[in-house]
Amino acid sequence: MDLISLSAVNAKSPYKIDSDQSGSFFFVTDKQRPYHVAFIEDPLFYEHGIYQYCLDTDVHAEADGHVYEVVVALMEEFFKSSAKGLLYVCDSMDGRQAARNRLFNRWFNSYADRDKYLLFQREVPYEGVLQYVSLIVRRDHPEVQPITASFDRVLSNIKYAYK
């Protein structure tokens, strides 16, 4: 499924965005920091068409407000697609998941059109590490109730499996 129009994103983005055959996106900041962005259908939520959002860089990134602008451009295009929701799990490989969660919340709360969306957030212990998981759904989506019920059910199962 083509979720995102690259030309529409590039019309809004401060950085040139490229994509590959898999539908992943790439950009490089003014400070030469490479970023990779992907939208991957999550198999735990497959029946509801929920995609996991991945934002990754190979280097320790310095603060760059333009990265926020790229994220917004990509997400706005994502929500124009037939996808039903966006799942974000803060990477915990380096123990900085709480900082990533705070940044995600700051970006979401500063987004001008945030009232169009519902944000559901959970903290889930998984294999001894506290995971921060967020789900964004358009407020006007007709399947909000079953989507959020599935989100809570899946996370509860994970939470109880790793107590």
Residue 77: give its domain's CATH number.
Answer: 3.40.630
When divided into structural domains, the chain yields a total of 1
Helix axes 97-110, 65-78, angle to 10 degrees: 70
Q: Write down the mean pLDDT value for the chain.
A: 86
β-bridge mates for residue 130, sequence order: 125
More confident residue, 91 or 60: 91
- Any residues with CB less than 8 A from the CB of 80 and at least 6 apart, and which? 5
> Once rounded to an integer, what is the mean pLDDT over residues 59-71?
81
Coil, helix or strand at residue 150: helix
Contact 89, 52 (CB under 8 A): yes
Separation between Cα atoms, residue 60 and residue 152, nearest integer Å: 32
In which domain, by residue range, is 68 found? Answer: 6-161
Q: What pLDDT is recorded for position 46?
A: 60
Q: Which of 89-93, 126-130, 133-137, 154-158 has the highest mean pLDDT?
A: 133-137
Residue 43: inside a domain: yes
pTM as predicted: 0.87
Residue 79: inside a domain: yes
